[in-house]
Amino acid sequence: MTSSEAASRPTRAAVILPWERHDRQVDPGSVPGGVDHRTGDTKGYQTRAAEARLEEAVGLAASIGLVIVRQAVLPIRMRKPATLLGSGQVEALKEAVEADEVTVTIIDARLSPVQQRNLERALGCKVIDRTGLILDIFGERAATREGSLQVELAHLEYQRSRLVRSWTHLERQRGGFGFLGGPGETQIEADRRLITDRIVRLKRDLDQVRRTRGLHRDARKRVPFPIVALVGYTNAGKSTLFNALTGAAVHAQDQLFATLDPTMRGLQLPSGRRVILSDTVGFISDLPTELVAAFRATLEEVAEADIILHVRDVAHPDSVAQRGDVIGVLDGMVRDETLDPEWPGRVIEVMNKADLLTELDVVPMRDGAEIISAITGEGLDHLRASIDQRMIKSMEQAQYRVAVQDGAALAWLYAHSEVIERADSEETISLTVRLLPADKARFDRQQAEAKA
């Protein structure tokens, strides 16, 4: 095989899931504190099946163009400090890697730098852990400047952790000039310093981008439209639903992490009310710690949302566990004080992919959940009506006194509230209205800014 043929040949990969004993699936419905099969609530038990977790890892690897030629779940009793896997498993895996001509092995777990290096030596191929794989995907898909900066920052922080005893051939002394480091600085110290300097610059750039986005968000708050945010596990069909509701052409593909950056479009409800629909990044279990902050930053639209549509893949065998992952991230935002603790009251649960169900399928349902298919359009009219009704139910009564000459404020109230009572005088117009909490906050803010 020539070098050009080798370069054009698809990368053959193996995906290995180390599965510890306590990770084994329990039937939570058969034990106290398991899953409420009516609501799908989890209460402290691991409900994710090894096969489903492996399937997800294979999907992640395939999404960046790897050709998966081998996949396996390897049960482990305890994590080996040197290789994570047992010596017999490593030897068997080496034989499989050679037989299948594997050039990359994905270990669906967090590997220490030592474990990664030892496995690469033992297997004779490149080894990537779950964190490295997800970082590669995020790096490939990030489209906005902030997304690219966040991913580069996460990647550098991951790289910095890999420098500890990673390159023994680089642990050499070198004399240093002033701008390259002090005398006797080792190569690893120099690399770590260069990475740290780059991280500092990236954080500075990110702060500037966030300030700009904050200005945009403040400007959007002045736009008199409520926000409806889509959230859900990756590949649950959020972007397909977004397109079906708005007629937009957002990238929608049967692929994990097809959407990484938030997208917003206008949507008209049956009542004629207009809202802004926001599509967000898909959630995933065991998100690398380096990406947690970046991931939550992309969910700031959720914190501003009047209604949250939690889109679930109802046909997925791990739908309940995926729901738990989504709720866990949102609860983490509450702890970070970036999300209102009352957020569950703004959620409509949307059970997507109903077209993949059979009459024999039994689905854990929550009260008020919507069953839809974003592909066929089944249930979408009812979903639009439910969003409308949720908006109406949340309306509050308020009283305003508007100057006669303030036609803009008067027009705004008539356009975005239900006027119950009106009393005119020579200088003012007194109105009693019903309006959404978000609309009330927007109008109050506009009035305060006008008086400032």
pLDDT in tens, 355-404: 998 766 656 666 678 999 999 999 999 999 999 999 888 888 999 999 99
pLDDT in tens, 313-334: 999 888 888 999 899 888 888 8
Structure tokens at 333: 């935002």
Range of the domain at 407: 396-451
Find out whether 47 is annotated in a ligand binding site: no
Q: What pLDDT does 173 receive?
A: 43
Tell me how far apart the alpha carbons of residues 378 and 244 are, in angstroms, rounded to a whole number: 11
Least confident range of 2-16, 118-132, 274-288, 350-364: 2-16
Residue 68 lies in a domain: yes
Find out whether 118 is annotated in a ligand binding site: no
Find out whether 430 is annotated in a ligand binding site: no
Find out whether 260 is annotated in a ligand binding site: yes
Q: Are strands 347-352 and 307-313 parallel, antiparallel or unpaired?
A: parallel
CA dihedral (389, 394, 398, 402) positive or negative = negative
Residue 215 lies in a domain: no
Residue 440's φ and ψ, nearest 5 degrees, are -60, -45
Tell me how far apart the alpha carbons of residues 125 and 131 are, in angstroms, rounded to a whole number: 18
Q: Does residue 123 sit in the same domain as residue 36?
A: yes
Residue 298 contacts residue 267 (beta carbons within 8 Å) = no
3-state secondary structure 236-258: CCHHHHHHHHHCCCCCCCCCCCC
Look up the CATH number of the domain holding residue 41.
Answer: 3.40.50.11060
Is the pLDDT at 14 greater than 80, yes or no?
Answer: yes
Residue 378 contacts residue 354 (beta carbons within 8 Å) = yes
pLDDT in tens, 44-86: 334 568 888 899 999 999 988 899 999 999 999 889 999 999 9
Number of folded domains that form the chain:
4
- 135 Rama sector, left if φ>0, alpha if ψ -120 to 50, beta otherwise: alpha
List of residues 6+ apart from 393 with CB closer than 8 A? none
Q: Does residue 32 sit in the same domain as residue 115?
A: yes
Q: Does residue 197 sit in the same domain as residue 234?
A: no
Strand, coil or helix: 360: coil
- DSSP string for 139-196: HHH--SHHHHHHHHHHHHHHHHHHTTTS-GGG--EE---TTT--TTEEHHHHHHHHHH
Tell me how far apart the alpha carbons of residues 272 and 101 are, in angstroms, rounded to a whole number: 60
Q: What pLDDT does 288 receive?
A: 75
- DSSP string for 86-148: -HHHHHHHHHHHHHTT-SEEEESSPPPHHHHHHHHHHHTSEEEEHHHHHHHHHHHH--SHHHH
For the chain, percent of residues with pLDDT exceeding 90? 40
Residue 443 contacts residue 406 (beta carbons within 8 Å) = no
Q: What pLDDT does 217 receive?
A: 63
Q: Does residue 329 sit in the same domain as residue 286?
A: yes
Q: Are strands 307-313 and 227-232 parallel, antiparallel or unpaired?
A: parallel
List of residues 6+ apart from 144 with CB closer than 8 A? 261
Residue 218 lies in a domain: no
Q: What pLDDT does 27 receive?
A: 37
| CA nearest to 153, candidates 212, 214, 195 | 195
Q: Within the chain, how many helices (H) and strands (E) appear?
A: 14, 17
Find out whether 328 is annotated in a ligand binding site: no
Final residue of a domain: which of 84, 105, 132? 132
Look up the CATH number of the domain holding residue 422.
Answer: 3.30.70
- DSSP single-letter state for residue 21: G
Q: What pLDDT does 25 receive?
A: 44
Strand, coil or helix: 351: strand
Q: Does residue 376 sit in the same domain as residue 400?
A: no
Q: Does residue 252 sit in the same domain as residue 313?
A: yes
pLDDT in tens, 252-266: 555 555 444 567 888
Find out whether 347 is annotated in a ligand binding site: no
Find out whether 235 is annotated in a ligand binding site: yes
Final residue of a domain: which of 154, 175, 208? 208
Is the pLDDT at 339 greater than 90, yes or no?
Answer: no
Q: Does residue 231 sit in the same domain as residue 331?
A: yes
Tell me how far apart the alpha carbons of residues 46 and 63 are, in angstroms, rounded to a whole number: 26
Angle at which helix 130-141 crosses helix 289-297, to 10 degrees, equals 30
Q: What pLDDT does 350 receive?
A: 96
Q: Does residue 16 sit in the same domain as residue 97?
A: yes
- DSSP single-letter state for residue 56: H
pLDDT in tens, 138-187: 887 776 787 788 888 888 988 887 775 444 444 444 443 333 344 445 67
Lookup result for tokens 């500075």: 204
> What mean pLDDT do residues 230-249 have?
88
Find out whether 271 is annotated in a ligand binding site: no
Residue 219 lies in a domain: no
Strand partners, 311: 232, 350
| CA nearest to 388, candidates 226, 221, 222, 223 | 226
Distance set, CA 257 to CA 7, 69, 182 (Å): 26, 22, 43
Q: Does residue 294 sit in the same domain as residue 370?
A: yes
- Burial of 185: CB neighbours in 10 Å, binned 0-12, 13-18, 19+: middle
Final residue of a domain: which of 132, 162, 187? 132
Find out whether 257 is annotated in a ligand binding site: yes
Residue 216 lies in a domain: no
Q: Does residue 382 sit in the same domain as residue 253?
A: yes
Find out whether 354 is annotated in a ligand binding site: yes
Q: Does residue 240 sit in the same domain as residue 379?
A: yes
Find out whether 258 is annotated in a ligand binding site: yes
Q: Does residue 433 sit in the same domain as residue 335?
A: no
Look up the CATH number of the domain holding residue 338.
Answer: 3.40.50.300
- DSSP single-letter state for residue 261: S
Distance set, CA 79 to CA 18, 85, 88, 109, 158 (Å): 9, 7, 14, 11, 21
